[in-house]
Structure 1
Amino acid sequence: MQIIFMNRLSRLAGREEEEFAQLWIGEEEGVWSLGWRDFSVNTAEESTDSLWYEGGSWNEMLCVYRHELAVKMGAGYRPLIDGGLHEEEVLPRRGREQLKLQYYSEHYSQESIYDELCSWRRGRASSERKAPYMLASNRLLRLLSTFLPKTTEELLQIPGIGEAKAAQYGADWLAITSAAPRERNFPLDWVYEEIGDDEFSSWLYKQKELKYKRQLERLRLNRTLLQGIESGLGLEQLKNETGVSRRELLEALEELEKDGYSVEKLIQYELGSMAHEEQQAVWKAYEEFGDLFLKPVLYKVYGDTPPAAAGGLEVHYERLRLIRIRFRREQAGSLDSAMSF
């Protein structure tokens, strides 16, 4: 095996002891290997090897590399040589300050206030018929439940809240947060002095670890989907194969199409029992209403009461999404053709 990349890392194990490790990538006949070697504190000759990855995909190996390295750096390891495959993001001052507020909120939010804000979000989302995350993210609710703004001016100092958001939901939020006692006031400059650099750096690497873990899971899901589609599997079989919901599978299929992969074989399989006239009606509804929202298309084709189907209303939405993949593919092809002239 030929070693094509190697780096040495270290961390302090105690007041004076330093631990060392080695990270390496090798290749032999198209097979990539990625490994980690821990050296003993007392002698560099004693070591423990871990094989993180072995396979033929460079992209998958790179995802594993970034995820596992983020885990190690979150545990205190730092590379002795910067560069190579190691990504060291330089954050602008404003971005770093906002991340520190997020870090602080994850450690010091008031759970009772957070729960009350979550309850508000569920009720408001239901009344507006929106997904809860469209009103406010968990991160934003954590920030609100930590810093407890009492005025609109203070509310606007929370990252993620602008004039429009404050005008729409600010009164509801302030009714909850302003009633709670707080120990520290605005502005929030004091937060930046409260957080130690080492703890904050470890938290940043933990965020990277989660990010790269999601990327790795998505890469492996896409590979399984493409192999399953090629083998003629349907959504239910792919659900059993991957362990994810049918909704998540449809979202992944849409992303695969955006990335240039064809999922037409699966679409044909799933729409095999759907009448051609019904499919044409859905297509015409997309031409009339656009492809951003599904509900107008559903009502256009089926009225207020879609016909009963095995699996209920979700089956109708699944079919709409599958036809939308075809519709968007044709629209993109038409645009490409127009741009080529």
Structure 2
Amino acid sequence: MRIVFLNSLEKKGPESMMKGAQIWIGEEEGQWRMGWNELIAEGQQEELWYEGGSWSEMLHVYRHRLAIKLGEGFRPVMEGIWDEKEDLTGRGMAGQKLICYSEMNGNEPLYGELCAWRRRKAAADRKAPYMIASNRLLRMISVFLPKTVEELMQLPGVGENKASEYGAELLEITQPAERLREFPLDWVNREIDNETFRSWLYKQKEAKFRAEMEKFSIRRSVLESLAEGLNVSDICTRAGIERREAVEFLETLEREGYDTDPLVSSELQEMPEAEQTAVWQAYEELGDHLLKPVLQKVYGIEVAEAGNLDVLYERLRLIRIRYRRHQDVAQSAS
């Protein structure tokens, strides 16, 4: 096997003892292997992280597994282990440190109260909870306890619109709570040492890369299913996803040039031709960016406001795949 990449890492242990490890990538006859060798008291312990023919898949595994190790405290001896340069003082790091501090010094009772407020507000406004406030924002509010709108707007994720719409209610919740540290929050930067912050950042990368790896795995399952002529239900079973996500994957693959027409035709067999024509004409009249206006145009406002619309929206997406392909072909020919 030919080693094409090798880097050493170290981790400071008890009594400043250094623990060593290596990450390596090798290739042999088109097959990639990647592993982690860690020095332990008994000698060397090897973990095989990947073995297969896909460079892209291996990179997803590499980023995810390496982020876990860096989050545990390992540091590269030589730069170049990531494809981006790390800057703990760069733009946006101040906001990240506020998030880091709030996650490490939680105020769970007040955070729970804020989450309950968000649920009530989301139900009353008929909005998704995350559109009102993210978990991270609620956690920062629970920890830093802003008492005025000006203080609230010092937290990342709070602009004038959010402060105007929800500020009074949020401050009503934080007002009774006793605050031990004051605004402005410059002191947070001094409270978090660089190594603690760096480990936290690596854990954020680990979560991000894990999501990317899972998405890559789902994509591969959908492509394999498409090649085998499976239907949407079979794709959902194999990839472990819901029907809406499967159809959205088909839309993405169609844009990338994959042929989804056999599957689309199969799924639309039970939809009357007149109904398909009406949807097509609605796309021509209203455009294909938003689905709800097309739904209202074809089925009426009463149907569009009723429940159990999953089947109708799925059909709209499937016909949109065909419509966009037709538009692309017409545009190429002109």
The one-letter amino acid paired with 1:13 is G
2:317 equivalent in structure 1: 321
User: Does the CA contact (< 8 Å) of 1:9 and 1:21 recur in 2?
Assistant: yes
Query: 2:159 matched to 1:154?
Result: no
Secondary structure, counterpart of 2:241 in structure 1: coil
The one-letter amino acid paired with 2:159 is G
Give the distance between the partners of 1:134 and 1:328, measured in 2 at CA: 30
2:280 equivalent in structure 1: 283
- Cα shift at 1:195: 1.4
1:36 equivalent in structure 2: 36
1:236 equivalent in structure 2: 233
Give the distance between the partners of 1:63 and 1:92, measured in 2 at CA: 27
Structure 2 gap ranges (5+) = none
The one-letter amino acid paired with 1:273 is E
Give the distance between the partners of 2:131 and 2:328, measured in 1 at CA: 27
RMSD: 2.4
- Cα shift at 1:141: 1.8
- Cα shift at 1:92: 5.0
User: Does the CA contact (< 8 Å) of 2:88 and 2:194 recur in 1?
Assistant: no
- Cα shift at 1:25: 0.6
Query: 2:93 matched to 1:125?
Result: no
Query: 2:183 matched to 1:175?
Result: no
> Under a length normalisation based on structure 2, what TM-score does the superposition of the two structures give?
0.90
Give the distance between the partners of 1:48 and 1:333, measured in 2 at CA: 56
Note the alpha carbon deviations across 1:286-337, whole angstroms, 9 max, x for none. 3333434333322221124449xxx942111221222233334444555666
> Under a length normalisation based on structure 1, what TM-score does the superposition of the two structures give?
0.88
Distance 1:324 1:131, change over 3 A: farther
Distance 1:16 1:141, change over 3 A: closer
Give aligned-pair identity as a percent.
52
Distance 1:107 1:326, change over 3 A: farther
- Cα shift at 1:229: 1.2
Secondary structure, counterpart of 2:121 in structure 1: helix
The one-letter amino acid paired with 1:105 is S
Give the distance between the partners of 2:284 and 2:129, measured in 1 at CA: 29
Secondary structure, counterpart of 1:93 in structure 2: coil
1:255 equivalent in structure 2: 252
Query: 2:56 matched to 1:59?
Result: yes
The one-letter amino acid paired with 2:37 is R
1:17 equivalent in structure 2: 17
Aligned residues: 332
- Cα shift at 1:143: 1.7
Secondary structure, counterpart of 1:283 in structure 2: helix
The one-letter amino acid paired with 2:142 is S
Structure 1 gap ranges (5+) = none
Query: Bigger shift: 200-209 or 285-294?
Result: 285-294
